[in-house]
Amino acid sequence: MAEFLALGNWLLPLLYLALLVDYGATFFLRTRAHGREPWLLLVVAAHAALLAGRGWHEGRPPLTDTREILSVLALATAAVYAWIEFASGDRRTGVFVLLLAFLFQYTSSILLAGREMEVPAVSAGAAGVWYRLHVVPALVAYVAVAFAGVYGMLYLAASRSLRRHRFGVLFDRLPPLDRLGPMAWHALLTAFVSMTLAIAVAPLLFGGGGNEMTAKVVGKIVTGSAAWLVCAAAVLGRWVGKWGPSRISAIAVAGFVAVMALLVVSGLLS
Amino acid sequence: MPELSVIGASHRTAPVEVRERLALAPGQVSALLAAMHAEKVFDEALVLSTCNRTELYVVPRAQADPLACFLDHVGRIRGAPPETPPGTFYRHDDTEAVRHVLRVAASLDSQIVGEHEILGQVKEAYRLAVEARTAGFLLNRLLHRAFRAGKRVRTETDLGRGSASVASAAVELATHVFSDLAGKTVLVVGAGRTAETAARALLGCGATNLIVANRTLDRARQLADAIARGPAEPVCGEDVSCPGADDDQPATCPALVAEAADEMRAEGGLPADAPQAAVHEVTAEAVGLDDLPAAVARADLVITSTSAAEPVLTHAALAPTLRRRRGALLLIDIAVPRDVDQRLGKLDNVYLYNIDDLDRLVARNLQRRRQEIPKAEAIVEDEVEEFARWLASRGVTPTIRLLQKRLEGIQQAQIARYGRRFAEADREQLEVFTRALCSQILHKPLALLKGLSADGSTSERLATADLIRRLFDLDSLDEEAGRDGHTPRQP
Mean of pLDDT values over B91-120:
93
Name every chain A residue with its beta carbon within 8 A of the beta carbon of B357: 165
What pLDDT does residue B482 have?
65
Mean of pLDDT values over B99-124:
92
List the beta strands (DSSP E) in B4-119. 5-10, 42-49, 53-60, 90-93
Run of H or E residues at A32: none
Q: Predicted confidence band at B257 (pLDDT cuts at 50, 70, 90)?
A: very low
What pLDDT does residue B146 have?
96
| Closest approach of B259 to chain A, Cα-based (Å) | 24
What pLDDT does residue B81 have?
75
Position A215 pLDDT exceeds 60: yes
Mean of pLDDT values over A171-175:
86
Q: Using omega within 30 degrees of 0 as the cis cutoff, is the peptide bond preceding A38 cis?
A: no
Lowest mean pLDDT among A263-267, B56-60, B480-484: B480-484
Q: List, for residues B276-295, the tens digit of each pLDDT value.
A: 444 578 889 999 999 999 99
Q: List, for residues A50-90, the tens digit of each pLDDT value.
A: 988 888 887 777 766 777 888 888 998 898 888 888 877 77
Which residue of A34, A160, A162 is the best one to mutate when testing the B interface, meaning the one whose CB has the most B CBs within 10 A?
Answer: A162
* Strands laid side by side in the B283-288 sheet: B283-288, B209-214, B185-189, B301-304, B329-333, B350-354
What pLDDT does residue B490 have?
44
Lowest mean pLDDT among A23-37, B7-21, B194-208: A23-37
DSSP three-state, residue B462: helix
Lowest mean pLDDT among A160-174, B348-362, B377-391, B467-481: B467-481
Active site positions of B, annotated: 51
Closest to B207 in 3D by CA, of B274, B279, B305, B289: B279
Q: Report CB contact under 8 Å: A177, B328.
A: yes
* CB contact at 8 A, B319 and B349: no
Residue % of chain B over a pLDDT of 90? 40
Cα distances (angstroms) measured from residue A210 to each of A65, A125, A134, A216: 19, 12, 18, 15
Q: List, for residues B425-440, the tens digit of each pLDDT value.
A: 788 888 888 989 998 9
Q: Which of B176, B325, B345 sits opposite A171 (nearest CB)?
A: B176
Name every chain B residue with its beta carbon within 8 A of the beta carbon of A248: none
Q: Report d(CA B99, CA B108) in Å as an integer.
A: 11
Mean of pLDDT values over B215-229:
88
Position A127 pLDDT exceeds 60: no
Q: Predicted confidence band at A44 (pLDDT cuts at 50, 70, 90)?
A: very high
Secondary structure of A80-136 as H, E, C letters: HHHHHHHHHCCCCCHHHHHHHHHHHHHHHHHHHCCCCCCCCCCCHHHHCHHHHHHHH
Q: What share of chain A is helix, strand, coil (3-state, %, to 5)?
A: 80, 0, 20
Which residue of A159, A178, A179 is the best one to mutate when testing the B interface, meaning the one whose CB has the most B CBs within 10 A?
Answer: A178
Closest to A97 in 3D by CA, of A235, A255, A262, A256: A256
Q: Predicted confidence band at A102 (pLDDT cuts at 50, 70, 90)?
A: very high
The ipTM assigned to this model is 0.77
Give the sign of the dihedral formed by CA B267, CA B271, CA B276, CA B279.
Answer: negative
Q: Report CB contact under 8 Å: A244, B326.
A: yes
Q: Report CB contact under 8 Å: B360, A34.
A: no
**A135 or A49, which is more confident?**
A49
What pLDDT does residue A85 have?
82
Query: Phi then psi for B488, rounded to 5 degrees?
Result: -70, 145
Beta-sheet pairing, B350-354 with B329-333: parallel
Q: Report d(CA B28, CA B331) in Å as an integer.
A: 43
* CB contact at 8 A, B25 and B121: no
Position B195 pLDDT exceeds 90: no
* CB contact at 8 A, B489 and B465: no
What pLDDT does residue A233 have?
94
Position B394 pLDDT exceeds 60: yes
Lowest mean pLDDT among A83-87, B186-190, B216-220, B452-456: B452-456
